[in-house]
């Protein structure tokens, strides 16, 4: 099982796009997305210094555009990807890359959203002096307790030994003077407290724009930053993309979902290295591939062939598939098991996990063709539960 991941802000380095732009096709595609974003991404990816590309309004579009164009280099015929990729995930702004890769939104929609996301987050960050500090090592429970003590938010929980605290500069100073035991603090060079309540104004701005965005159900399961659940319905993917601006990134739960999925290989899109580094520590035995330069493309395609396995989602237009959001025990909703058809939004059951119970609904509704599980069955993330035939489709 192959999972493709896209990195978030901070992964960019000066000049990282230089070797990629030697390819005229890559260069022309990047120029198109630059036009949509209203930024000279070629300049920022080749000539700009570290301070220039650290700017939120630059870094975010640069990362999303790079991931999208590199994906077309890896999969020259995009439809081929759907028969190879088991799931996609993105860290923070990388979720926009993942959503476009799964065909929930178009590349152009992703660029408009990331452009506005970056601007809105920069404006929100300017209201109050805030920042972020990485906490490396220490006991996780103790780390979280210290953050709560100082009023800080664990904005990124990246897995064993890496939590990122976010809050006001005064709160971060208090943390520096009273750190968790056996932990090392590393202040991050970012504009503000991302993925916290300080970003609420940015959520409001993007939510208004999202009302006009048309979406499609995912062609590949999308693993959500919010809680590691598996998403298929396009509107939910978009809603979470908006909300995660002010919500913590639970990459640790994304890693748990990958493990539950049975992942054997993780390939990180450029600028790669951060997420594969985390995966090596957290998912022992899982192979990783950090795609950093175009001279690795043949090797990357071989990695895809080795680990590629088709998504369990049936994308035939005349069928709709409802899939499990997580690993757990499926419980069929009352009065649904014998139903001949379902209304849009009808609950079909719940998946009970060790953490909670996740409600599963029939978003679109339709005629019940086939139940693929029974009450009490153990299900895996993305596993098909029910096949529907849309009403009115011949």
- 221 alpha-carbon distance from chain centroid: 11
Q: Residues for the chain: how many in total?
A: 394
Q: Sort 178 into a burial class: Cβ within 10 Å, 0-12 / 13-18 / 19+.
A: exposed
186 contacts 237 by C-beta, under 8 angstroms: no
Q: Is residue 195 annotated as a catalytic residue, yes or no?
A: yes
Nearest to 224 by CA among 210, 213, 214, 237: 237
Q: What is the DSSP letter of 273?
A: S
- In 3D space, the residue among 62, 63, 50 whose CA is nearest the CA of residue 5 turns out to be 63
Classify the C-alpha dihedral 85-312-348-345 as positive or negative: positive
Please confirm, yes or no, whether 34 is among the known catalytic residues.
no
11 vs 272: CA distance, rounded Å: 7
- Residue 374 is classified by DSSP as -
Ranges of beta strands (E only) in the chain are 2-6, 87-90, 130-137, 153-157, 162-168, 183-188, 222-223, 230-231, 265-268, 287-290, 320-323, 328-332, 341-342, 346-352, 357-362, 366-371, 378-379, 384-389
Rounded CA separation 327/68 (Å): 29
Q: Which of 34, 92, 247, 324 is flagged as catalytic?
A: 92
Buried b (16+ CB within 10 A) or exposed e, 373-393: beeeeebbbbbbbbbbeeeee
Catalytic residue among 34, 91, 150, 195: 195
Phi, psi of 330 (to 5 degrees): -90, 130
Which helix (DSSP H) or strand (DSSP E) does residue 214 occupy? none
Number of H helices, E strands in the chain: 14, 18
Residue 341 has phi, psi (to 5 degrees) of -150, 160
Which candidate, 105, 23, 103, places its Cα nearest to that of 66?
23
Catalytic residue numbers? 92, 195
């Amino acid at each position: 099982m192959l999972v493709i991941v896209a990195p978030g802000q901070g992964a960019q380095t000066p000049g990282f796009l230089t070797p990629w732009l030697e390819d005229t096709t890559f260069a022309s595609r990047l120029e198109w997305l630059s036009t949509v974003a209203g930024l000279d991404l070629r300049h920022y990816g080749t000539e700009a210094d570290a301070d220039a590309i650290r700017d939120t309004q630059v870094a975010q579009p640069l990362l999303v555009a790079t991931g999208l164009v590199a994906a077309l280099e890896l999969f020259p015929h995009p439809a081929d990807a759907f028969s190879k990729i088991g799931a996609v995930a993105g860290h923070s702004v990388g979720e926009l890359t993942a959503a476009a890769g799964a065909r929930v939104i178009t590349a152009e929609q992703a660029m408009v959203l990331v452009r506005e996301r970056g601007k809105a987050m920069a404006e929100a960050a300017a209201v109050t002096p805030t920042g972020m500090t990485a906490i490396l090592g220490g006991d996780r429970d103790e780390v979280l307790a210290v953050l709560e003590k100082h009023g800080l938010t664990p904005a990124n929980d990246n897995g064993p030994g890496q939590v990122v605290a976010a809050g006001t500069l005064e709160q971060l100073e208090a943390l520096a003077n009273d750190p968790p035991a056996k932990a090392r603090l590393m202040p991050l060079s970012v504009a503000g407290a991302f993925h916290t309540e300080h970003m609420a104004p940015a959520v409001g701005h993007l939510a208004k724009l999202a009302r006009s965005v048309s979406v499609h159900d995912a062609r590949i399961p999308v693993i959500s930053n919010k809680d590691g659940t598996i998403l298929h319905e396009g509107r939910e993917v978009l809603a979470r993309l908006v909300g995660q601006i002010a919500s913590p990134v639970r990459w640790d739960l994304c890693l748990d979902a990958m493990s539950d999925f049975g992942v054997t290989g993780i390939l990180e899109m450029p600028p790669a290295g951060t997420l594969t580094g985390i995966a090596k520590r957290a998912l022992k035995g899982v192979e990783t591939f950090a795609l950093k330069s175009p001279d690795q493309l043949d090797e990357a395609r071989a990695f895809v062939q080795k680990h590629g396995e088709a998504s369990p989602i049936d994308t035939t237009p005349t069928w709709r598939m409802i899939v499990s959001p997580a690993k757990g025990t499926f419980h069929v909703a009352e009065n649904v098991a014998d139903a001949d058809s379902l209304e849009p939004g009808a609950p079909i059951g719940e998946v009970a996990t060790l953490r909670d119970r996740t409600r599963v609904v029939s978003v679109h509704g339709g005629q019940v063709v086939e139940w693929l599980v029974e009450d009490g069955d153990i299900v895996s993330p993305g596993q098909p539960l029910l096949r529907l035939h849309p009403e009115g489709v011949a």
